[in-house]
Amino acid sequence: MLVVLGAACAGVLVEAFVPRKARFLSQVVLSLASLATAFGGVVYVATQLTSRGDGKAFGTVAAEGSVAVDGPAVFAWGLILLIAIFGVMLFAERRLEGGVSAFAGQAAALPGTSDERRVSERGLEHTEVYPLLLFAVGGMLLFAAASDLLTLFVGLEVLSLPLYLLCGLARRRRLLSQEAALKYFLLGAFSSGFLLYGIALVYGYAGTVTYAGISEAIANTPGDRGLLLLGIGLLAVGLFFKVGAAPFQAWTPDVYQGAPTPVTAFMAAATKVAAFVALLRLFDVAFGAERWSWLPVFWVVALLTMVLGAVLAIAQTDVKRMLAYSSIAHTGFLVTGILGTGAVVTGDQITTTTAVLFYLVTYGFVTLGAFAVLTLVRDDAGEVSTLAGWAGLGQRSPLVAGVFALFLLSLAGLPLTAGFTGKWVVFAAAMTADAWPVVVTAVLTSALAAFFYIRVIVVMYFAQPRGEGPTVAVPGFLTTATIAVAVAATVALGVVPGPVLDLAAHAGEFIR
């Protein structure tokens, strides 16, 4: 984590001192190298974890109780770093638009002004995006491992602020992009407010901000819990906003649509990992003893999120928006997985933590791949994301359409793809906790959700293109590699999920 943040700072220095021509290359190399080093570090840390207590959880609480280095945290770190590496690769793709990246030349130049024309003529670009991404990644790492409420809050802000900026930097459709960034920022600031207020209330109740301390306080203080419950509620609001769970999902479609597609890919995959691990840790470790008062809320949130995501996705005519709503539905499935926390687990049964971690892996790679494909399909005005514009893609470029169809089928949860095994584990986790009404609803919404994934396939394969139809840009090496890895992961996790599943199971429980 320090490596990433350090590299981010180094990136700022590079931005300041390295001549403009060399900046792009040095930034990309620096980012990739630091992420890879950090990944190596995570693997090393993973082998050094020591078992604690009953043997189910291992790791230590570092930095005076503010950061927990345990199985799930290390697992999440590895995943976030992997996604970030591919995120950088997508960011660095310059071949698609004739040698420039997907980001605006100079964000301050107003769209359509002479300023902007001058900037693009000079071929300027924001190489700041790489340090920004690194800062976001650093925030995510902190967020996923936060073991006290203040660290949680710091992590959240460090991850969010760069994302707000990145969202507004699209080269094409600047206004939409800037609007998305503004919306994200305003709503994000609201949610931070909720979170902060929640932290204050919980501190007021427990007199401490560490998770272990809160858990102890809950166990030792019978009686009036009004303050605690209110605090939990507000914290939940803040975190549900971050993961995009209903009824706090409203920002998702606009931001996903408006942000530059590489940013969307990175954000959709990585933020979800960090936020869900943080959510799970907070509610399991700190509020675990109070489970029976917050689980019903999660039931409702899971139901609402799935149904809302699936129903609204049907009405979408834009592929990016459709994927955004689909991500809301998937958030619902993940929350369904959390419902398993109350279950009595025997033997080597699937636990909630295993299920959610594994689902995050499957979802992360599929999402990354799907958005990467989105960057390829374009016409004169840039990326084509309207559904009608995709008509006939299956005949023009069978390979790209086939790959996208694979991702869609995986999102729909067809067997032998990653999406199916992922869905299976979260549903199984919920089922062991007897949450079968939610599982049945989840299954029905999956059927509903299948409709809009299939509609895209229908458009790609069975519809005749209107006029010219979309063309597929030939991607550079970096994008190709990203897509190839995503495809391989989708198939491998569908057919032989065993190793990753074992890894997720091996990550064990959260330490307390």
Q: Which residue ranges make up the site for another protein (CB under 8 A)?
A: 346-350, 354, 395, 409, 412-416, 420-421, 424-425, 427-428, 431-432, 436, 439-440, 443-444, 446-447, 450-451, 454-455, 458, 461-463, 496-498, 501-502, 505
Alpha-carbon distances, residue 152 vs 158, 171, 204, 460, 510 (angstroms): 10, 33, 17, 43, 15
Which one, of 80, 75, 41, lies nearest residue 58 by Cα?
75
Cα–Cα distance measured from residue 453 to residue 451, given in angstroms and rounded to the nearest whole number: 6
Alpha-carbon distances, residue 50 vs 170, 312, 407, 510 (angstroms): 45, 46, 38, 13
For another protein, which is the closer residue by CB, 104 or 405?
A: 405
CB of 20 to another protein, least distance (A): 47
Beta bridge partners of residue 68, listed in sequence order: 61
CB of 501 to another protein, least distance (A): 5
For another protein, which is the closer residue by CB, 238 or 497?
A: 497
Q: Are 429 and 337 in contact (CB under 8 A)?
A: yes
For another protein, which is the closer residue by CB, 341 or 354?
A: 354
For another protein, which is the closer residue by CB, 160 or 351?
A: 351
Beta strands in 10-145 (DSSP E): 51-52, 57-62, 67-70
Backbone angles phi, psi at 430, to 5 degrees: -65, -35
Q: How many CB atoms lie under 10 A from the CB of residue 307?
A: 18
CB of 468 to another protein, least distance (A): 18
For another protein, which is the closer residue by CB, 262 or 392?
A: 392
Cβ contacts of residue 466 below 8 Å, gap of 6+?
A: 388, 391
CB of 433 to another protein, least distance (A): 9
For another protein, which is the closer residue by CB, 440 or 484?
A: 440
207: tokens are 């007199």
Strand, helix or coil for residue 511: coil
Q: How many helices (H) and strands (E) does the chain have?
A: 20, 6
CB of 494 to another protein, least distance (A): 9
CB of 489 to another protein, least distance (A): 16
CB of 493 to another protein, least distance (A): 11
Q: Are 58 and 70 in contact (CB under 8 A)?
A: yes
CB of 276 to another protein, least distance (A): 20
For another protein, which is the closer residue by CB, 347 or 467?
A: 347
Alpha-carbon distances, residue 51 vs 47, 70, 242, 349, 506 (angstroms): 11, 9, 31, 20, 11
For another protein, which is the closer residue by CB, 451 or 477?
A: 451
Q: Are 432 and 343 in contact (CB under 8 A)?
A: yes
For another protein, which is the closer residue by CB, 24 or 461?
A: 461
CB of 407 to another protein, least distance (A): 14
